[in-house]
Structure 1
Amino acid sequence: MKVALVGSSGGHLTHLYLLKKFWEKEERFWVTFDKEDAQSLLKEEKRYNAHFPTNRNLKNLFLNTILAFKVLRREHPDIIISSGAAVAVPFFYLGKLFGAKTVYIEVFDRVDKPTLTGKLVYPVTDRFIVQWEEMKKVYPKAEYLGGIF
């Protein structure tokens, strides 16, 4: 199985890295920002650099959509996993066109309100995971699995 791990640097990258028991024996690649934490944490990993900032930045949304198309066409992942943020959106929508399954993990610090990215990817996500039981009210089809930490 080939896994794409897509997320912003910082806390989102940390969330994905904490899933190491799942992805460490799989063929994988990462899509994140070219920042110090990603450079350090993923120095031995295959990584594609996404454009940032992404928050409400239409230019970088466009550039990341082009990046998603190129990367997905080249890599053909079986599954795309993300915990956000906005860089996940083009990868999830285009990933569905390429036949990938998608898993989104809503961030731990959201207890009763959705993130913008969560709202945008919810309609196309195969498995939507929340870390608080209360979030099932926000995302009725979500799976509550508890905290990653």
Structure 2
Amino acid sequence: MEYQLIIEFTFLIILLLTARIAYVIHKITTGHSVYASKRTTPCRTLICIGSGGHTTEMLKLIENITFKNFRPRYYIIAKSDTTSSQKVKSLEESRNFAVNSDYYMIKIPRSRSVGQLYVTSVFTTLISIFYAFPILLKIRPDVILCNGPGTCIPICLISFFLKCAFICDSKIIFVESFCRTTTFSLTGKILTYIADNFLVQWPNLKKKLKRSEYIGQLM
């Protein structure tokens, strides 16, 4: 009797979780996410930094924002990325934020390297998720800004499930890479379902996803 009760209770929990996940995805993909009408406090911002072109695009995207409205800023960088930290530091210093506690750089394991097999990337992604979970739980950002690098997948997945669990309602803003003119990246295909705002830089991509927003070319 007790064994049957445990099975029924487990089934009920799984059913409720599935329903909650489906509901959140439906809200996001149909554009029914709820946004605060006006903020009166700075926006706690998490920025996923990739490498190479991804880093250049992201820094180009944020270089003109009003930094005092987006603080503190947490830059998530892959441990294997040896150059992006300096680029972030240079940007922050150029905005006269060289000596303060408004920004932090956090390094996590890369979920997928360029050219890595998708099969093996499953395991590296799980490692990255395990590593990043306590970071997200502590930061609880208002906004997550990303543009495609594998580093952002664990961050966005964790954020999505924290939202489903009513723990933290972070808004995910995804900007598809400039080099993606006709097809979405793997990251883009995944975030199609969980990114609150999906921004593209080419009209062809806007046609492929109705809820996406065409912002023109950043580069």
- TM-score normalised to structure 2 length: 0.63
Query: 1:9: which partner in 2?
Result: 51
Aligned-partner residue type, residue 147 of structure 1: Q
- How far the C-alpha of 1:53 sits from its partner, in A, is 6.0
Aligned-partner residue type, residue 137 of structure 1: K
Q: 1:109 aligns with which of 154, 179, 185?
A: 179
Q: 2:75 aligns with which of 3, 13, 30?
A: 30
Residue 131 of structure 1 pairs with residue 216 of structure 2: no
Structure 1 or 2: more helix by fraction:
2
Query: 2:157: which partner in 1?
Result: 93
Q: Which runs of 5+ in 1 are unaligned?
A: none
Shift in CA distance, 70/121, structure 1 to aligned 2, threshold 3 Å = same
- TM-score normalised to structure 1 length: 0.90
Aligned length: 149
- Tell me how far apart the structure 2 counterparts of residues 47 and 80 of structure 1 sit (CA, whole Å): 14
Deviations 1:103-149 (A, max 9, x none): 00000011111100000011011100000011112222100010112
- Tell me how far apart the structure 1 counterparts of residues 142 and 87 of structure 2 sit (CA, whole Å): 23
Poorly superposed stretches of 4+, deviation over 6 Å: none
Aligned-partner residue type, residue 147 of structure 2: S
- Tell me how far apart the structure 1 counterparts of residues 137 and 111 of structure 2 sit (CA, whole Å): 24
- How far the C-alpha of 1:38 sits from its partner, in A, is 1.5
- How far the C-alpha of 1:11 sits from its partner, in A, is 1.4
Structure 1 or 2: more strand by fraction:
1
Q: 2:146 aligns with which of 71, 82, 86?
A: 82
Return the index of the structure with the highest Cα Rg: 2
Paired residues of 2:51 and 2:84 also in contact (CA < 8 A): yes
Matches within 5 A, 1:34-45: 34=79, 35-43=81-89, 45=103
Q: Which runs of 5+ in 2 are unaligned?
A: 1-42, 90-97, 163-167
- Identity across matched positions, percent: 23
